[in-house]
Structure 1
């Protein structure tokens, strides 16, 4: 490969074809020409000038999680985890799988699902396994109306609870990893699968980073959202995008299943609004509103390169508990011991589950990221469009006609929602967004009629109410 080529290749492949998730590791490489910016669609993306690209000597292809050149999740797992632990294609390597929740303190109440991500960070600090815990937290700077969440560093175990719950909002590693590199100490960091993979790849290029980041806590992910998703939620609840300062995606009901949530939003004048997610236009997660394109070309749901992965235990046995139950996949022996020790202290509740049950708890995400991905790769291949090399192969799976319609429509809804919302912002009229997206919502409902049938009466009623309300 010629000198000065890698940055240009990354730009022409990953970035130009909309596979950049904005993780920011390319901007952290020596002589990098890249910077991470938020575009008008609410996506964090890497960008660089033509001049900077033409002279950069940065080695960026091996650190980008979507380059198609960097190591995949299986290869990274072989480097970072014991070779003799369990493995399945769905969840990656594992020592043990659990479902459970934190019994002590307010971790379960104030956290996502069963509260384990924050609890792990708190325990690592208490046990002097780390000096700093890195996690997302709500941005307290009210001038930052686009990036509502950012990574923060905690060295006080009791303060860990202040971190955010699930954040369906873009964030980048670029700034926080710079801080980690400049500091002395031992760190643990949380992140969605692509971010943890990016950290692993970067740490292979920079051994000093690998020595500092002792533990990675992966957040199970079915796909991210752009910043405009948060703006839509606020607008639907009566807070204009320019006034939105904060959002909570994980309000819990006292007497309804854990998969039914409340969204809360705040404005610059401290106004607060909240609503049942099922009553907010465009928040049906299965439809794919505001999903960044790279999420549709990722085959990792359970953060397979993380020392421990934590998500929602969407299993019939647990979902009825309104307080939430965590799905936990452990790949690190030290973290496994912390869980085992704590069971004896009665501070947590855990039930062992099989790897098959762990995969079943995230079956929808896995189906979309494996079966659906094979179709999306095939379509790109037929059109001669560059795609990153994935573990899933084009047209690998047999897919029913109905599922093909669902996967294709999700892609269409994601793309249309990005454009439609920008038009609504330009017109300063939320109805513009509704008018463009209504036909796709109707089509998605028709395609999924029988799957949605048990919930159809309530959804139809809400749809009619929204129409009358306008």
Structure 2
């Protein structure tokens, strides 16, 4: 994989692959129409699951909670449970190493997949990384180094691991656990560059980048980006004060994410998300929702609760769906609409059927706005970067963001006009 001009990872020299690799690729790419979908993979791996939910997939139990012991919670973006479970796998000797995303030493790229064999290395890779990474290097290490492994990843990465294991006996034997992350969408490397611009620096000056610096006095969903520079200075800004800091608007979103229907890592043995529901969203210490599909991992959680090392409350599927409502709308009704924009022969094979359903004109316009913002943010940033004129992109992003927020959230004069039109339309009906 290599970075393109937009800061997205793309396959390199795909036409030069050996013939057997060309045959395998369509079966292991998570977006390939020839690959098994999430329902098919989950049915094979979690056949005895107690619950089968249309939004969350198959699972045995769901929880909301956090880690009580040590600094797992304070060092994580959320409740610290993902790193805690991975650490337990190492501590109990169930795996020899964990594949996860961590910072690089050189800073270019900022992050990449690595293998951690100690708790210290694992904890150094805690926190969310909204940055493009790829799995090929770490999977090659797993193939060449005997042992038992766990892999942490977003839904499409875990699906790719499942598909790779089905086509590679060595990986299938060595990858024992998969730990998934709930996902809204992936970002390009340019988002970090844009944030750096808006913090008064450049990405070349950044030594450490934290997308979600934690402050316990503020609600968990008040994101703050923070960068430590090579000279030791620390700079930061709240996401809401960044021109492109509205996550839902889709700035720098990978185009493939427009056609993904998995939010909850449905093929992972266990999956973790943020508890975006009150009273948890207001707790700046961070809280996880957890979906468990592996009896062995459920046993580890039960023992952790009994020892009061973690605090978990059992919840149902409805609660978990509530915490991820906006992402699920984007991946269900939004996806159904986006599929209608493609000619039939070009539509990817998804579990969501193409259709408008009962969407209002305003909702359809919101999905179109997100789609266009995602596409044009790459192009405008590239042009601005080429000219070395950051303000060109930032001015565009600020205007677009204001329009999107006014249209979506009824803020400012744009929102008032839209509300007036919407009410007029409703009265006419």
TM-score w.r.t. the length of structure 2 is 0.92
Q: Whole-Å Cα distance in 2 between the matches of residues 49 and 327 of structure 1? A: 38
Deviation above 4 Å: which 4+ runs of structure 1?
49-57
Q: 1:399 aligns with which of 359, 367, 374?
A: 359
Q: 2:85 aligns with which of 104, 120, 127?
A: 120
- Judging changes above 3 Å, is the alpha-carbon distance between structure 1 residues 332 and 256 closer, same or farther for their aligned structure 2 residues? same
- Judging changes above 3 Å, is the alpha-carbon distance between structure 1 residues 81 and 285 closer, same or farther for their aligned structure 2 residues? same
- Confirm whether residue 138 of structure 1 aligns to residue 103 of structure 2: yes
TM-aligned CA deviation for residue 276 of structure 1 = 1.7
Q: Whole-Å Cα distance in 2 between the matches of residues 309 and 134 of structure 1? A: 15
TM-aligned CA deviation for residue 317 of structure 1 = 2.4
Q: 2:420 aligns to what? A: none
Q: 1:212 aligns to what? A: 174
Q: Whole-Å Cα distance in 2 between the matches of residues 109 and 41 of structure 1? A: 34
Cα offsets for 1:3-30 (capped at 9, x unmatched): xxxxxxxxxxxxxxxxxxxxxxxxxxxx
Q: SS of the counterpart of 2:105?
A: coil
Q: SS of the counterpart of 1:215?
A: strand
- Judging changes above 3 Å, is the alpha-carbon distance between structure 1 residues 251 and 49 closer, same or farther for their aligned structure 2 residues? closer
Cα offsets for 1:278-319 (capped at 9, x unmatched): 112211101110001111110000000000000101111211
Q: Whole-Å Cα distance in 2 between the matches of residues 230 and 241 of structure 1? A: 7
- Judging changes above 3 Å, is the alpha-carbon distance between structure 1 residues 252 and 56 closer, same or farther for their aligned structure 2 residues? closer
Q: 2:368 aligns to what? A: 408
TM-aligned CA deviation for residue 53 of structure 1 = 8.4
Range moving further from structure 2, 42-51 or 426-435: 42-51
CA contact (8 A) 2:276 2:324 kept: yes
CA contact (8 A) 1:253 1:261 kept: no
Q: 1:426 aligns with which of 369, 386, 393?
A: 386
- Judging changes above 3 Å, is the alpha-carbon distance between structure 1 residues 157 and 445 closer, same or farther for their aligned structure 2 residues? closer
CA contact (8 A) 2:208 2:228 kept: yes
- Confirm whether residue 444 of structure 1 aligns to residue 404 of structure 2: yes
Q: 2:292 aligns with which of 326, 330, 350?
A: 330
CA contact (8 A) 2:182 2:264 kept: yes
Q: SS of the counterpart of 1:58?
A: helix
Q: 1:286 aligns to what? A: 248
TM-aligned CA deviation for residue 245 of structure 1 = 3.5
TM-score w.r.t. the length of structure 1 is 0.84
CA contact (8 A) 2:49 2:293 kept: no
TM-aligned CA deviation for residue 55 of structure 1 = 9.8
Q: CA RMSD in A?
A: 1.8
Cα offsets for 1:246-301 (capped at 9, x unmatched): 31012122211111121111334343211222112211101110001111110000
TM-aligned CA deviation for residue 77 of structure 1 = 0.4
- Judging changes above 3 Å, is the alpha-carbon distance between structure 1 residues 95 and 49 closer, same or farther for their aligned structure 2 residues? closer
Q: 2:61 aligns with which of 92, 96, 104?
A: 96
Q: 1:74 aligns to what? A: 39
Q: How does 1:336-347 map to 2 (within 5 A)?
A: 336-347=298-309
Q: 1:63 aligns to what? A: 28
- Confirm whether residue 109 of structure 1 aligns to residue 74 of structure 2: yes
- Confirm whether residue 318 of structure 1 aligns to residue 280 of structure 2: yes
Unmatched 5+ stretches in structure 1: 1-35, 457-470
Q: Whole-Å Cα distance in 2 between the matches of residues 292 and 405 of structure 1? A: 20
Q: 2:215 aligns to what? A: 253
- Judging changes above 3 Å, is the alpha-carbon distance between structure 1 residues 396 and 308 closer, same or farther for their aligned structure 2 residues? farther
- Judging changes above 3 Å, is the alpha-carbon distance between structure 1 residues 56 and 62 closer, same or farther for their aligned structure 2 residues? closer
